[in-house]
Structures are given as structure tokens and as C-alpha cells.
């Protein structure tokens, strides 16, 4: 892994190549261009330089949209790429909602949705009623 010192040295090199060294977006563009010249594995110098350049641009008040345009990403992709906590929180919330929903129809829980919880999942009141109708129909047919 690259130390913070090496990443800051690379960022200074990118800043010296930028057309406007005071503009964080121009420095970011120069850092992206510099990364194309650097031989590097993911997680090495290239990632450390980009992470630092993005962090400095965000500290200067640059929007995720403007940063994403430099990377050719949409805003959400850029935010996910450079903020692991955001991505982790998003996935945890998504899993919690999925796990709390009905295992059969995926209906989310709510104040008027009653759930029966079991070891293998959950079933909502509508699916319980439907299952009851199916079993009653089978019993009427003599099965």
C-alpha cells in the first residue's frame, strides 16, 4: 500500500501539470492523466492518488456530479466509489428491508401489514389467507 506521503507527492506532481493549479477539478483531471502514465496495480499508487485528489476536491466544495464528469461516471457511481461507508450503509439498509419483507410476495412490513415470523422467513397476512384458500380448495377436492 502507498503511504500518504507518496500520494501527496504524486498529487503535487499532478498539480504542477494542471492548467490551473488552484482549481481542484483541474488538479483532479491532471491526476487522472498522471494515473494513466503510472504502472500500478489496483490498491496501489493509482488508487491512493485518485482517492487523495477526490478528497481534496470534496473538501474544496466540489460536487459529486462535477467529480463524476471528470471520471465519466454518474454522480451516484462516483460517490459509491470514493465513500465506502456510504456504499456499506446502502447495502445494509437494502438487506434489512429485503429480510423484513414477506418471503413469498416481497411485500414490505408496515403498520397495516401483519407478518408471521418463522425460522426460514416471514409471511404476510395476504399470503397466509391465500395459502388457507389453496389448502381449503384441495381439501374440498378430496386430496
Distance CA(91)–CA(107), nearest Å, equals 19
Cα 100 to the center of its chain, rounded Å: 21
Q: Is 35 annotated as a binding residue?
A: no
Query: Could you tell me if 119 and 140 are in contact, meaning their C-beta atoms sit under 8 angstroms apart?
Result: no
40's CB contacts (< 8 A; 6+ apart) are 46, 47
User: Which residue matches cell numbers 498522471?
Assistant: 34
Q: Is 124 annotated as a binding residue?
A: yes
Alpha helices for the chain (secondary structure H): 4-17, 24-37, 45-59, 64-71, 75-82, 84-100, 125-140
Q: Nearest Cα to 98, choosing from 109, 114, 85, 89?
A: 109
Annotated binding site for Zn(2+): 102, 105, 124, 127
Annotated binding site: 102, 105, 124, 127
Amino acid at each position: 500500500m502507498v503511504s500518504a506521503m507518496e500520494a501527496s507527492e504524486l498529487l503535487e506532481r499532478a498539480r504542477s501539470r494542471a492548467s490551473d493549479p488552484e482549481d481542484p477539478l483541474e488538479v483532479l483531471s491532471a491526476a487522472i492523466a498522471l494515473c494513466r502514465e503510472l504502472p500500478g496495480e489496483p490498491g496501489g499508487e493509482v488508487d491512493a492518488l485518485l482517492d487523495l485528489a477526490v478528497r481534496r476536491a470534496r473538501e474544496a466544495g466540489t460536487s459529486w456530479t462535477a467529480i463524476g464528469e471528470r471520471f465519466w461516471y454518474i454522480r451516484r457511481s462516483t460517490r459509491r466509489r470514493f465513500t465506502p461507508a456510504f456504499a456499506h450503509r446502502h447495502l445494509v439498509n437494502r438487506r434489512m428491508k429485503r429480510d423484513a419483507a414477506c418471503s413469498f410476495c416481497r411485500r414490505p412490513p408496515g403498520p397495516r401489514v401483519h407478518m408471521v415470523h418463522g425460522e426460514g422467513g416471514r409471511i404476510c397476512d395476504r399470503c397466509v389467507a391465500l395459502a388457507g384458500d389453496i389448502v381449503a380448495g384441495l381439501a374440498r377436492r378430496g386430496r
